Chains A and B, each alone.
Chain A
Amino acid sequence: MADNRHKYGFRFYASQSGSGRPAGIEMLMASGYAGDHGGSVGVTIGDPVDLLSTGFCELMNDTATRDTPYGVVVDIFGKVDANGKARKTSYLPSGTTFATEETATKLIVLPFGDNIWELDCDDAVTATTLAAYRAFVGENVDVVFSRDTSDANKPKCNPVIDISTHNTTAALLFRIVGVSKSRENADFSGANVKLLLQLNQGLDPQLNGATGMAGV
């Protein structure tokens, strides 16, 4: 058994509109935002976010709260240098503060919408064959966060599919729509098998009210 390479975060895989990509949306993050996924984490490209009533966004399922997924971070502005000026960054440290519009933390977020996303599974025991993974297609599943501190300077939330939660349950956050055909999926008996997900659209108030849709 050989483990497949772990690739970080949500990866845009295909657009349901066929236009090639979802449109990005600029979103703001509150000054001093401190991500918490079993410990302090910063914001990284590939992280999922949810919307807050304050108008800001935050890392999804932050502080062990179950959130409605909104989109995936693809660009970050707001890394404040020692001179107090902000710039682009691929990693926003936890607790980054700003006082002015010029230094405000701005993210470009691709909404989950009905697009297809690729994400790694968190275990190698729920399924161990391609056929077993394919049998999950149509079911719903949750995402779990496996805090990554491999770079101690950049702790990340590390979203992965909580594959053992696969079920038809309506309240689960994502729907499994396929097994990624990336050749990174080398061994289905190994860890980090990559599946294709769509947002369980019923959970997105913009799309279908607040109730999730049962899987099949």
Chain B
Amino acid sequence: MAGEVFSGAIALSLKETLEEIITDQLDGVESDLDYTQWMLNRPMNDAYEDDQEYAGGGLIAEVPEGTELPPLTITEGYTKRYQARKFAAKYIITEEAMDDTKFPKVIQAIKRLKRSGWKTVDIDATNLLVRATNASFPGPDGVALASTSHPLAAGGTFSNMAATPMAPSTASWNAIIAQLDQLVDHDGIIQGYKAKAVLHPVQQRGIWTVLLGSKMDPEAGNFSAINVIKEYDNNIKRVQLRYWTNTTTNWAVQTDADNGFQMRWKKKFKSNTWIDHNAELMNYSISGRWDNGTSEPRCVLFVNA
């Protein structure tokens, strides 16, 4: 509230009458991040960085003897630009508030800023999935991250959305894997990608734990069959995303496609402290610069269930 911390804002901590301070979890925030489980952390060297799509020429022709070989071409597609976005905040705390509070746990400005910063990083990252089908947040190819009509550089489209959105089950997994097995590459030719992780809202923890971990098929009536997920797609990682809050039913399969989800850091968090002697105000700030996204929509197959 209001934007500055005067002693009135922490008035009940000015005397040693309290037993415990009830406050946010400030320790271990950086080691409790979601995004590091599904995004590649990498540095960012410049103010912006571009990744460029190039598609090969496709299939070759059957050529009669002695006739000229038909040429193929290479087509330039979309450009993915990562802009170093700056995120920052500060606490302005009066010297009186600093001096008079009897409980160090009340202010802890640097720790609170660190929590705010890392939480922002994690939520900013998860927004990629929150906005996966939102046309207001298009990716570099001009459509949302999850789309049935991602353009191919040299013509045509491909889909990285489940053809039939279904709740988590062996059947839905098999359908997704089949779709992934026939996912086309940049030249429009079927390549096939492997699933490496399931990204899901927290409400699907139980079903995915069962589906990924059961020795036998966990579907009623099929208990004597093998669990195909465990048998053929072993070591699929389950990534539960706390901040994926706009749905309880969507989920996504992350693939092994290169240049997928990534977090590019131009500047890791830096904190500053300074005193405004004019009003005897203690200032604590934190700032960081990053961008996140994906250069490759094939990194995910989204289930808009």
Contact = CB atoms under 8 A, between A and B. Distances in A.
Interface of A: 1-2, 7-13, 20-21, 23-24, 44-46, 72-77, 79, 87-90, 108, 110, 129-131, 183, 186-187
Interface in B90-135: 92, 94, 120, 123-124, 127, 130
B8 A21 contact: no
Contacts of B246: 1-2, 187
Given A24-B4, A24-B279, A183-B120, 19 more contacts: A9-B2, A12-B3, A20-B92, A20-B283, A21-B4, A21-B92, A21-B276, A23-B279, A44-B1, A45-B6, A45-B8, A45-B9, A74-B3, A76-B11, A88-B8, A108-B8, A110-B4, A187-B130, A187-B246
A193 B3 CA distance: 18
A130 B11 contact: no
A20 B276 contact: yes
Contacts of A2: 245-246
A107 B87 CA distance: 32
A23 B92 CA distance: 12
B281 A130 contact: no
B2 A12 contact: yes
Contacts of A88: 6-8, 11, 14
A21 B123 CA distance: 28
Contacts of B123: 183, 186
B149 to A, nearest CB: 22
Contacts of B1: 7-9, 11, 44-46
B10 interface: yes
Contact of B4 (A74, A77, A79): A74
22 contacts: A1-B246, A9-B1, A9-B2, A10-B2, A12-B2, A21-B92, A21-B279, A21-B281, A23-B279, A44-B1, A45-B2, A74-B3, A74-B6, A90-B9, A90-B10, A108-B8, A110-B2, A131-B136, A183-B87, A183-B123, A186-B130, A187-B246
A79 B14 CA distance: 13
A98 to B, nearest CB: 16
Interface string B70-103: 0000000000000000010000101000000000
B2 A73 contact: yes
Contact of A13 (B3, B10, B92, B283): B3
| Chief secondary structure at chain B's binding surface | mixed
Contact of B11 (A21, A23, A87, A187): A87
B78 to A, nearest CB: 23
A90 B106 CA distance: 14
B279 A90 contact: no
Leading 4 A-B pairs by shortest Cβ distance: A12-B3, A75-B6, A46-B1, A75-B8
Contact of A108 (B6, B10, B120, B245): B6
A11 B2 contact: yes
B302 to A, nearest CB: 18
Interface in B6-29: 6-12, 14
B11 A89 contact: yes
Contacts of B6: 24, 45, 74-75, 88, 108
Nearest to A107: B8
Given A79-B11, A87-B14, A90-B10, A72 B136 contact: no
A38 B14 CA distance: 33
B270 to A, nearest CB: 18
A89 B245 CA distance: 36
Contact of A75 (B7, B87, B124): B7
B92 A77 contact: no
Nearest to A109: B2
A89 B6 CA distance: 10
Contact of A11 (B3, B7, B12, B283): B3
